[in-house]
Structure 1
Amino acid sequence: MAIIHKTTMSPGKLELLAAWLPAQPWYLPTGRPPALARAGGFRLDDPEGEVGIEFMVVTDTSGEEPTAYHVPLTYRGAPLAGAEAALVGTTEHGVLGRRWVYDGPHDPVLPAQLLALFHGRAVPQAQSLSDTPDPTVTARYDGPDPAVADADADAVARGGADALTVTRVLGDAAPATGSLGEVTAGWTGPDGTAHRGVFASLAAR
């Protein structure tokens, strides 16, 4: 069970993301620096208790219309070997000290736990509260028996027997036809409007 510390991070998550997002191929440029605000998300626990796992939603209001981005992040107490290209940045945590923040889909711990969520072996947790399940996050899986769950890290990171896709630009879209499953969650727009959409999906290879 991850403990959520009420403390400071320097630089903060939004500062890190504002510098990192424009370089991502899925970012929708506005011609201005990103103007980011937290909009929602949830967490999953690392069974080993070493890596923080957060599925964060931020809205960018620098354009004519706000855009909601889903940014899965992992937080580590030491660099992840071979993941230099996935590093979002480093930050000083008021309790835990220096933390290395990674683009989560490239950290094998996050895809493994996301697959566990699909397969009913992980419980989504509230984003800002310790030991508090978030029942608004739902997972559907209609595929075959997920024997891939305990596969090696490289296989898990590729989605194992199924293709795992993380949604980056969120919308109120319905699940794709023919998908084996989806993780669905909500977020809040800058005007306070509630939204809900697919954060991740599985499809047969």
Structure 2
Amino acid sequence: MAVHHPATIVPTKLELLQAWVPHQTWTGNADTSVLTKLGSYRFDDPDGQVGMETHLLATADGQVLQVPLTYRGAPRAGADDSLITTMTHTTLGDRWIYDACHDPVYVSALVATIVTGGREADLYAATERGLVLEPTTTHVRGSGSSGGVPALTAPAVTHEGTTTTIDAGVRITLPRVVDAAATPGAGPTLSGTWPGQEVPCAVASVVVP
């Protein structure tokens, strides 16, 4: 379960994405001069400490970028290279925003979702009346059926073209420019839908040794 706290955020998520994404090599030839949000999906941190959200952005030339972020209430030790920015949140205080591909909490959640056949976290709004379930327009589902998650190691991230590979005891492939026609493969895959993408397409895959 993810909780959305009404607040003023500086910079906003879209502002930080618009500032950071155009400088990343994995955007390929996409025209990142204008980025608009199509949707996003979240995973749960079992310890309730790290926010995880993958943003789906439309580019000026109609391509779709996939950008996972983690939100932390304190700096992650030894992770300065993957720190994107800090954010002021009027409810939660200062937040440190990271490229999630380097964050072991996100990597563990992504692998678990894929291999166990999980899905995105439900999103609730914190209100004076308590938590209220928010409607979601972006959905993901893992294709696996395993009851267990393989042991993982510290993630090592590489980029080749518009694909990010995360080696963490398993090999995760994450297309950063999403191919709308990419159907889920035979192996463990995460597929997704969002506004404008009603047919599920592959957004991540895992190879387990």
- Give SS of 1:3's match: strand
- Quote the residue 1:7 is aligned against: 7
Count, aligned residues:
193
Distance 1:152 1:79 in 2: 20
Distance 2:179 2:119 in 1: 24
Which has more strand, going by share of residues?
2
Q: Which runs of 5+ in 1 are unaligned?
A: none
- Quote the residue 2:54 is aligned against: 55
Distance 2:172 2:38 in 1: 24
Instruction: Describe how 1:25-174 pairs up with structure 2 within 5 A.
Output: 25-29=25-29, 34-61=33-60, 65-120=61-116, 123-126=119-122, 136-141=139-144, 146=148, 148-149=150-151, 151-153=152-154, 158-160=167-169, 162-174=170-182
Distance 2:17 2:139 in 1: 25
Assess if the C-alpha contact under 8 Å between 2:192 and 2:200 holds in 1.
yes
Assess if the C-alpha contact under 8 Å between 1:10 and 1:91 holds in 2.
yes
Return the offset for 1:2.
2.8
Assess if the C-alpha contact under 8 Å between 1:104 and 1:110 holds in 2.
yes
1:187 and 2:187 equivalent? no
- Quote the residue 1:197 is aligned against: 201
Identical pairs, percent: 35
Q: Deviations over 1:124-143 (max 9, x none)?
A: 1246756669694211127x
Structure 1 residues 36 and 51, CA, compared in 2 at 3 Å: closer, same or farther?
Answer: same
Distance 1:158 1:30 in 2: 26
The 4+ residue runs of structure 1 with deviation greater than 4 A are 126-135, 144-147, 151-155
| Structure 1, 166-175 or 103-112: larger mean CA deviation | 166-175
- Give SS of 1:69's match: strand
Q: Deviations over 1:113-171 (max 9, x none)?
A: 111112328541246756669694211127x875524x45559x7342x3111221112
